[in-house]
Amino acid sequence: MKTIEWIGDSAGHLRLLDQTALPLETKFIDCETTKDLFDAIRRLSVRGAPAIGVSAAYGVLLGLRDIAEGDRKSFDTTFFEVSDYLAESRPTAVNLFWALDRLKKLVKHESELSPLQMRERLLKEAIAIDTEDQEMCAAMGRFGAELIPEGAGVLTHCNTGSLATAGDGTALSVIFAAHEQGKNIHVYADETRPLLQGARLTAWELMQRNVPSTLICDSMAAWVMKQGKVQVIITGSDRIASNGDAANKIGTYGLSVLAKAHGIPFYVAAPSSTFDFEIESGEEIPIEQRDSKEITIGFGKQTAPDGMKTYNPAFDVAPAENITALITERGVIQPVTKQNIAALLNRES
């Protein structure tokens, strides 16, 4: 089942699996305009940093459906407007900016192409981003699976699987790979309040792939660790700073502290596109604050009094010193230092 699919030629449209309807319904959304996609990203119908990046790459084409043949000036203006608009949909997702920047460079570089040729070229690039993402997931799975011991209890947070990427995922790709290698692992999936991506999406993916697993509330993770049921913790990341500080779904920071306190290795799996070399540390990562209702009206039922204040950060940051290793599609970075990160990912201009 494809989570993100471009339908038709370069004037086609984008079909997304509506993640807000899972696990009860398997429903698709057809995005015909960039606003359709912007809204889908905002309400988390598509989510997960790599999936957002791939969606946005296809998404710019939605803003170019009406372009006419002629000179490139008005095409380029429209393209940059569309890109800037989509870049606003999720402020923390670095893959979003990365994908859009890749297209922007291309548009600047391929100035000889006509508008329609340029649109064809952009579709080709979006497909390349999609395919590369699938390959990156597979590579992270291979590298990461070596870190999962036979018989391990593996705790994970949020959703980092085929619903979060174009391929098998980041942290879940590692879990799937270990499972497929025949390692007798058992997964503990945090439900991940407020939006329950763990309960709704990760549990669904784990069941789809027949990986033995148990769903817990976020508040139970520490107790599961204390009881010796967890040998490895692995999460994804939305943005990793030069020093290795990794932003991820709220709750990840706490898990990294608890992992350290219990002597459990804490791994973060993320493709190289997640690394943001423009920032030195996690302190520079802006944290998106989300609507109070996600906490007070969980799934259609009001559970807190009217007027109760909330604090609802979408992300937090696990500091590099709490991360045992970073798992990328190019290999494993351990220990997590600025030098080791740069050495593997090799900035490249």
337 belongs to the binding site for a copy of itself (CB under 8 A): no
301 belongs to the binding site for a copy of itself (CB under 8 A): yes
Separation CA 37–CA 41 (nearest Å): 6
Separation CA 349–CA 333 (nearest Å): 21
Question: How many other β-carbons are positioned within 10 Å of the β-carbon of residue 181?
Answer: 14
Separation CA 90–CA 293 (nearest Å): 18
Contact 121/113 with Cβ under 8 angstroms? yes
133/316 with CB nearer a copy of itself:
316
Helices 94-109 and 115-145: crossing angle, nearest 10°?
A: 140
Separation CA 21–CA 297 (nearest Å): 17
CB of 194 to a copy of itself, least distance (A): 5
CA dihedral sign of residues 214, 217, 221, 222:
negative
Question: How many other β-carbons are positioned within 10 Å of the β-carbon of residue 314?
Answer: 20
Contact 148/183 with Cβ under 8 angstroms? yes
Contact with a copy of itself (CB under 8 A) among 303, 335, 339, 347: 303
CB of 39 to a copy of itself, least distance (A): 22
Site string for a copy of itself, 248-287 (x = CB under 8 A): --xx-xx--xx-xxx-------------------------
CB of 224 to a copy of itself, least distance (A): 7
The stretch among 8-16, 110-118, 194-202, 235-243 that binds a copy of itself (CB under 8 A) is 194-202
The stretch among 79-87, 123-131, 184-192, 331-339 that binds a copy of itself (CB under 8 A) is 184-192
Separation CA 280–CA 18 (nearest Å): 35
CB of 66 to a copy of itself, least distance (A): 40
CB of 148 to a copy of itself, least distance (A): 20
Contact with a copy of itself (CB under 8 A) among 217, 278, 280, 321: 217
Place of tokens 């989510």: 47
Contact with a copy of itself (CB under 8 A) among 87, 127, 215, 342: 215
Contact 144/177 with Cβ under 8 angstroms? yes
23 belongs to the binding site for a copy of itself (CB under 8 A): yes
Alpha helices (H) in 146-251, listed in sequence order: 171-180, 197, 203-208, 221-226
- Short-list 44, 55, 263, 266, CA closest to 159: 44
11/287 with CB nearer a copy of itself:
287
Distances in whole angstroms, Cα of residue 244 to Cα of each of 90, 336, 337: 21, 6, 6
The stretch among 39-47, 208-216, 230-238, 340-348 that binds a copy of itself (CB under 8 A) is 208-216
Q: Under rule CB under 8 A, which residues in 24-63 are in contact with a copy of itself?
A: 24
The stretch among 33-41, 94-102, 136-144, 196-204 that binds a copy of itself (CB under 8 A) is 196-204
Catalogue the active-site residues: 238
Give the number of residues written for the chain: 349
222 belongs to the binding site for a copy of itself (CB under 8 A): yes
215/344 with CB nearer a copy of itself:
215
21 belongs to the binding site for a copy of itself (CB under 8 A): no
Cα–chain-centroid distance for residue 322?
Answer: 20
The stretch among 46-54, 109-117, 294-302, 335-343 that binds a copy of itself (CB under 8 A) is 294-302
Place of tokens 């990794």: 246
Can you give the binding site for a copy of itself, defined by CB under 8 A?
22-24, 188, 190-194, 196, 199-200, 203-204, 207, 213-224, 226, 250-251, 253-254, 257-258, 260-262, 295-296, 298-313, 316
